[in-house]
Amino acid sequence: VSRILLTLRYDGTGYCGWQVQPNGITVQQRMQDAIEAVTGIRSGLTGCSRTDAGVHANMFCCTFDTESPIRGNKLASALNAHLPRDIAVAECREVSQEFHPRYDAAGKRYVYRIWNAPQRNPFLDKYALHIRHSLDTTMMNTAAADAVGRHDFAAFCAAGSSVDDTVRTMQDCHIERDGDIVNIIAQADGFLYNMVRILAGTLVEIGSHRRLADSIAIALKSKNREDAGYTAPAHALVLDKVYYE
């Protein structure tokens, strides 16, 4: 039995996130269908994270164990032939039996994309939040810097989440403007449920001058969800990269 690491790209618009669930189609389910079609056996799949419904991935890592001898681009091509157009395997490689796509990830990088112009953009409709007024990215960057480092992110976790340890290390958090596109980049060793979306919502409110630049520092200290901003919509979020040692 060999362990195969698959690197995927997917447009999450039509999916209820990664993880198999009773109501609604997930990316994991589509992957299991494709693996079964190619290898003849329905395998369990371990993902690098549970992404929310509607969230996209430029790079999502998952593993499965198989006795099939197919490898590399041949396996990727065979799987892609059985996957819908909105999911694709970019790479396949064999890894050791000890490798775990979630526990072994040193960091994950998310990008929250904003189309910041008075009128909508047909190409970014499905992939960006549309904010009509000009965002103050200087103030957003000042606030984002407060999130960097090891903090208790309890204020940036969806209510009702049952996680014990809410301490995470934010490795990078900054804002980049490219013309009318504003990207919020957040890289951490792990993320709580809705953490990037609440961080993005808070930063959008700061950039709109509806919230002070020290709001993030205050929410990190109070650990109170009410001190952070709204949960920005899922369709503008993409898991951009997963880092392994």
Catalytic, out of 11, 52, 146, 240: 52
DSSP secondary structure string, 106-146? EEEEEEEEEE-SSS--TTTTTTSEE--SPP-HHHHHHHHHT
Backbone conformation region of residue 69, classed left if phi is above 0, alpha if psi is from -120 to 50, else beta: alpha
Sign of the torsion formed by the C-alpha atoms of 93, 97, 98 and 104 = positive
Is residue 89 involved in binding a second copy (CB under 8 A)?
yes
With binding defined as CB under 8 A, does residue 123 bind a second copy? yes
Choose the binding region for a second copy from 28-36, 83-91, 157-165, 192-200 (rule: CB under 8 A).
Answer: 83-91
Question: Interacting stretch for a second copy, rule CB under 8 A, among 71-79, 103-111, 193-201, 202-210?
Answer: 71-79
Is 181 a residue that touches a second copy (CB under 8 A)? no
- Which residue from 10, 60, 64, 191 is in contact with a second copy, where contact means CB under 8 A? 10
Instruction: Specify burial of residue 129 (Cβ count, 10 A radius: 0-12, 13-18, 19+).
Output: buried
54: three-class secondary structure by DSSP: coil
52 annotated active-site: yes
Which among 59-67, 73-81, 149-157, 221-229 is the span making contact with a second copy, rule CB under 8 A? 73-81
243 and 101 Cβ atoms separated by less than 8 Å: no
Backbone angles phi, psi at 36, to 5 degrees: -65, -40
Least Cβ distance, residue 181 to a second copy (angstroms): 12
Least distance CB 118 / a second copy (angstroms):
5
Please name which of 72, 61, 67 lies closest in space to residue 94, comparing C-alpha atoms: 72
Is residue 162 a contact point for a second copy (CB under 8 A)? no
Active site residues: 52
Contacts to a second copy by CB under 8 A: 9-11, 56, 58, 73, 76-77, 80, 85-91, 117-123, 125, 127
